[in-house]
């Protein structure tokens, strides 16, 4: 099940755009591939993120994975609930498992992202 209203990266992040702000997380496919997520290294509010640059890491029992930003901008909110409950990314990757909110500086970057159909194709669904 791939939500239709989101945009996706080839690195398996999703972004939900509302006005000039994007909420970012990782996809259900990505959380399943990683397995049990135990810890998320989160950035600070106010930090800058860049298009397709890593802004944090996800530690699963067996592996570690970088999280890439689908957009350039400034972090306006961080899901601090993940500090004590990183497994929310496993159980609810598109809801409670959101990671950061970014105020976009260059909305045209959205054109570089995949829509649900293209992302589905990428992961063979």
Partner 1 sequence: MSDKQTPFYHIHQKLGAKIIPFAGYLMPVMYDSITAEHLRVRNSVGLFDLTHMGEFELTGSGAKDFTQKLVTNDVSKLAPNQVMYTCMCYEDGGIVDDLLVYNLKDRIYLVVNASNIAKDFAHIEKHKPANVKLTNLSDQTALLAIQGPMAEKVMRQVTDYPLETIKYYYAAEGKVAGEQILFSRTGYTGEEGFELYFPNELGPKMWDVIYNKITALGGGAIGLGARDSLRLEMKMALYGNDIWEKTNPLEAGLGWVTKLDKGDFIGRDALVKVKEKGLTRKLVAFEMEDKSFPRQHYPILSGGKQIGEVTSGVISPSLNKGIGMGYVETKFGDIGAKIEIGIRGQNHPAVVVKPPFYKNASHK
Q: Which one of residues 59, 74, 77, 92 is an interface residue with partner 1 (CB under 8 A)?
A: 59
> Should residue 57 be labelled a site residue for partner 1 when binding is judged by CB under 8 A?
yes
CB of 99 to partner 1, least distance (A): 17
Q: Where are the beta strands (DSSP E) in 32-113?
A: 37-41, 48-49, 54-60, 64-68, 73-78, 100-104
- Containing H/E element for 106? none
- Residues between 17 and 56 with contacts to partner 1, criterion CB under 8 A: 32, 35-36, 38-39
CB of 29 to partner 1, least distance (A): 12
> Should residue 61 be labelled a site residue for partner 1 when binding is judged by CB under 8 A?
yes
Q: Do 31 and 97 meet the contact criterion of CB atoms below 8 Å apart?
A: yes
């Amino acid at each position: 099940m791939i939500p239709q209203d989101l945009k996706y990266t080839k690195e398996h992040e999703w972004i939900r755009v509302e006005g000039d702000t994007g909420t970012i997380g990782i996809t259900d496919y990505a959380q399943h591939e990683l397995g049990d997520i135990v810890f998320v290294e989160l950035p600070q509010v106010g930090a800058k993120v860049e298009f397709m640059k890593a802004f944090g890491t996800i530690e699963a029992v067996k592996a570690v994975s970088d999280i890439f930003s689908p957009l350039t901008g400034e972090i306006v909110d961080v899901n601090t609930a993940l500090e004590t409950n990183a497994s929310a990314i496993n159980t609810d990757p598109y809801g409670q498992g959101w990671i950061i909110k970014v105020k976009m500086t260059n909305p045209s970057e959205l054109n570089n992202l995949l829509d649900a159909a293209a992302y589905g194709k990428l992961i063979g669904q």
